[in-house]
Amino acid sequence: MSLDPSFVGRTYPPTAPYQVGREKIREFATAIGATEPAHHDPIAARALGHPDVVAPPTFPVVVTMAATHQIVADPDLGVDYSRVVHGDQRFAYTRPVVAGDELVCVNTIEEVRTRGGHGFLTTRTEVTTPEGESVVTVWSKIVVRGEG
Amino acid sequence: MELPTKTFQVTRADLIRYAGASGDFNPIHWSDRIATSVGLPGVIAHGMFTMALVGRAVAEWAGAADAVVDYGVRFTRPVVVPDDEQGTEIEVTAAVREVTDAGLTRIDITATCGGEKVLSQARATIRTSG
């Protein structure tokens, strides 16, 4: 598995805004068993100072996984998606994601390496509002397993 | 300081529900046929599902749904989920590493399944005051 190292530093065009729905946050919270009222009840969220229900910490992956498709699907980079496993994941928040947010993703390739026959690709996604307010920065490292 | 241990039961139904909620329909998380064809012992949990469960533990330790300001993990071992009523169990422990003057608490997290670590370098920063 060989990834093209010249892709390091490449930044992709902003994605179309993702509309964060209240029911999507509730559905995600329910799927992970997160029963805290602030994920489900707008009144409980407002009591914490938020305009609407608060997303659990890993919720942005719903948005960023779709956004990073523009990278892993780039044939010039050379990712064989059937051989991909998840390596690392990190979220650094400016503020929590809340229902009603519109989120735009800008992806940058931070690292491309090939070692021991495996490819390693680290992406950084800056998640902002359409006005450019920072919400969360998301790093994801994938490993593209070598043949055999 | 050690934080109280939390355990999470994970069944196939949980993986299906997470697939729908997250939009991650990779068949290694619901098809034994596909999972074994790529060399896995069977259906495995989404890494992001494990991370989400551990994130719940972090939020519970913090005592607030919106307290997590930084959270990162490395996935080191797949969580195999058998097709039965019990599924499997993930056990999560953590220790406080640092409390800053700015009201932030940094914790180091350990997550195991069947006695084996499934995450490494699992760390979170939570807002504990202000």
pLDDT of B116 above 80: yes
Tokens of B48: 């992001």
In Å, how far is A121's CA from the nearest CA of chain B? 14
pLDDT of B54 above 80: yes
Tokens of A102: 């519109």
Domain boundaries, chain A: 5-21+55-144
- CA dist A11 and B98 (Å) reads 35
Mean of pLDDT values over B52-62:
96
pLDDT of A148 above 60: no
Mean of pLDDT values over A100-115:
96
Whether the ipTM is more than 0.90: the answer is yes
Sign of CA dihedral B84, B75, B58, A41: negative
Number of domains in chain B: 1
Q: Which of A35, A46, A84, A89 to mutate to test the interface with B (most CBs of B within 10 A)?
A: A89
Give the residue numbers spanning the domain of B69: 2-127
What's the pLDDT score for residue B43? Answer: 97
Contacts of B53 in chain A (CB under 8 A): 32-33
The pLDDT tens digits of the residues spanning B2-45 come to 889 999 999 999 999 999 999 999 999 999 999 999 889 999 99
- CA dist B29 and B110 (Å) reads 23
The pLDDT tens digits of the residues spanning A78-99 come to 888 778 889 999 999 999 999 9
State if pTM tops 0.80: yes
Q: Which of A80, A65, A55 is nearest to A1 (CA)?
A: A80
What CATH number corresponds to the domain at position B118?
A: 3.10.129.10
Homologous superfamily (CATH) for A5-21+55-144 = Hotdog Thioesterase (3.10.129.10)
Q: Count CA atoms closer than 13 A to B8's CA, side-chain side.
A: 26
pLDDT of A52 above 60: yes
Look up tokens 């805004």; give the residue: A17
Residue A112, phi-psi category: left (phi > 0), alpha (psi -120 to 50), beta (remainder): beta
